[in-house]
Amino acid sequence: MLVELRVSNFALIEDLSFKFSSGLNVLSGETGAGKSIVIGAISLLLGERAAVEQIRQGKETAFVEGAACYDSTRQNEIDQLLEKAGIEKADELIIARELYSNGRSVARVNGRTVPVSFLKDLGKYLVDLHGQHQHQSLLRPEEHLKLLDSFGDEKISASLDRLNKLYKKRETYKKELFALGSSSAEREKRLDVNAFQLNEIKNAALQAGEDEELARQEKVLANSEKLWSITADIYSNIYAGSDDGAFEALIDRLNKARSQLADAAGIDQTLYPLLDLLESASAQLDEVSHELRNYQSRLEYDPAELTVIQDRLNLISTLKRKYGSTIEEILTYAGQLEEDIERLRNSEAAAEKLEQDIVEVEKQLFEESLLLRKLRQDTARILEGRLEECLQELALPNARFEVSFKEKQEFSPSGMDQVEFLFSANRGEDVKPLIKIISGGEVSRVMLALKTILARQDLVPTLIFDEVDAGIGGATVQAVAEKLSHLSEHHQVMCVTHSPQIAAMADCHYSLYKETVDDRTLTKTSLLSAEERREELARMLDGAGIDQVSLKHVDSVLERARRFKEKSAG
């Protein structure tokens, strides 16, 4: 429910704060005091369009912030929305909207900036606003089927459950059939494709790691001349020396040093370890020289061999593009192809069985859909009758309400029915879709009647009615007041009203009024105490000065409201 609301620099409001309770919350005040401005501020939190004109004159920004909490009935839907937007789950939502004089608007939920469209998605789980604004679930035809089903009994619920299970079973069969191929020709086509791919991989006779070895060989062959030159130079330096005698080979110089050290060690035996090291170094140089000669003897530039290697690498690269980024992945894919080929070769019988299963489950779906339609039509007749009775009590004596049924072409988890509510307020007029013909006052009363009938099933926690009493009086207003009170037993209800009978039912009553400060008109508000509430109801009754007669009348209205609420609670 909506717990708190703060509005700053919005229209005639400079800075107002509200703390709402559960039950029935009433906003009253003289015409033009700003009651509908408050409703307009709330509508911004529900993602409605913002306008620069809504910013208080002389200010650069307007700000609206609301705190809402929700229970488990819509927790899954709301948590999924929050997770999708990257917002941490919380028991309380802080929803804010800031308007700028340049036309820009910023929306935030729990401090994170979100698109305005996100507020619409979130708001439909939190608030239903009925009146001149367009945030009304009743005007969305896609909601009508849900409302009708929620009015139905356990037979509809059981039928929906069976239908949903059948639908899921059919989808499972269809997925399994798709995995086999949707037809014999399709399966043969897939078999040919799989066989071609498998042959292409097998004919390549790939070996794990061979691409790395081939890349090394290609590099060596492509640089064989350079390698021969480098190794020849190294060999000359170590073993051969220069042909012109310009420098002596490293091995010869090392042997001379070893001979000299041997002479020295004959004099000082402590030098023998060094002699051992020189002899080891000489032996290692001999080995290096020998290996270099062998390497040179094997090193030969062969263009044909290089071409073969490059062709092999190109083949492997082509297979990688098709079947996997590594040879190991290609070989794994080949294994999968073999399994798929085996399954496809044995799939004809399985596919025929699945096709028969699908036909059978679709027959059951059709039969269950017809049963559900009959249950819905019976429920619709009851709903139409009860709603028309309720609308008569709400000063719409000639109202007609019908539930229109159309058949969908495809099965769905909710059946084959497309439902829309139709309405006519006046005798002699055909019923038409609500969104096309219904006025703001009428839609509020229709929704009030519908919400009263569906009170326990409806999952939207907060309902807002903007002047639902417009154009009615007398006993009809009392009927509206009682229905609002009844509705507030299962929802938080907020109501902008001029009717003392409705205000008398309030659990929380705010009065709005205009005040002039420094030649500027401001909207102010006051949470009324018990005595202030009596005075406000007296003003609402006759608008004249408050006297004992008017207060006595107020007390009778309050007493009647008290008795009704006690009886309703009992």
Taking only the tens place, the pLDDT of each residue in 16-57 is: 999 999 999 999 988 878 888 898 899 999 988 888 989 988
Residues near 13 by Cβ (< 8 Å), separated by ≥ 6? 7, 34, 37, 38, 41, 56, 522, 523
Closest residue by Cα to residue 50 from 151, 109, 154, 120: 120
pLDDT at residue 438, as a whole number = 64
* pLDDT for 401 beyond 80: yes
Q: Which of 31-40, 182-191, 334-343 has the lowest mean pLDDT?
A: 182-191
Confidence check: pLDDT of 377 > 50 = yes
Residue 134: which pLDDT band, with cuts at 50, 70 and 90? very low
User: Where does the pLDDT of residue 108 fall: very low under 50, low under 70, confident under 90, or very high at 90 and above?
Assistant: very high
User: Could you give the 3-state DSSP secondary structure of residue 256?
Assistant: helix
pLDDT at 128: 82
User: What is the set of domains in the chain, with CATH numbers?
Assistant: 1-126+463-476+492-570 (3.40.50.300)
Query: Could you give the residue ranges of the DSSP H alpha helices within 324-418?
Result: 327-345, 347-393
The fraction of the chain above a pLDDT of 70, given in percent, is 94
Task: Indicate whether 104 pLDDT > 70.
Answer: yes
* Mean local confidence (pLDDT), 119-130: 85
d(CA 349, CA 352): 5
- CA–CA separation, 12 vs 218, rounded Å? 82
In sequence order, the 6+-apart residues with CB closer than 8 A to the CB of 184 are 348, 351
Q: What is the pTM of this model?
A: 0.59
Residue 434 has pLDDT above 70, yes or no: yes
What's the pLDDT tens digit per position in 476-496? Answer: 788 888 888 988 888 899 998
- Residue showing tokens 């007029």: 429
- In this model, does residue 425 exceed pLDDT 90? no
pLDDT in tens, 267-280: 888 888 998 898 88
Range name among 126-135, 399-408, 558-567 with the lowest pLDDT average: 126-135
pLDDT confidence tier of residue 136, bands split at 50, 70 and 90: low
- For residue 302, is pLDDT > 80? no
CA separation for the pair 449, 387 (Å, rounded):
6
Other beta carbons within 10 angstroms of residue 370's beta carbon come to 12
Alpha helix segments (H runs only) across 23-74: 35-45
In the prediction, which pLDDT does 135 show?
47
Euclidean distance between the first and the last CA atom of the chain, given in angstroms as a whole number: 24
Q: What is the average per-residue pLDDT within 396-418? A: 90
Question: CA 49 from chain center: how many Å?
Answer: 22
Residue 507: predicted pLDDT: 93
Residues 330 and 347: their CA atoms lie apart, in Å, by 25
> Which of 407-421, 466-480, 537-551 tops mean pLDDT?
407-421
Nearest Cα neighbor of 313 from 200, 220, 217, 226 is 217
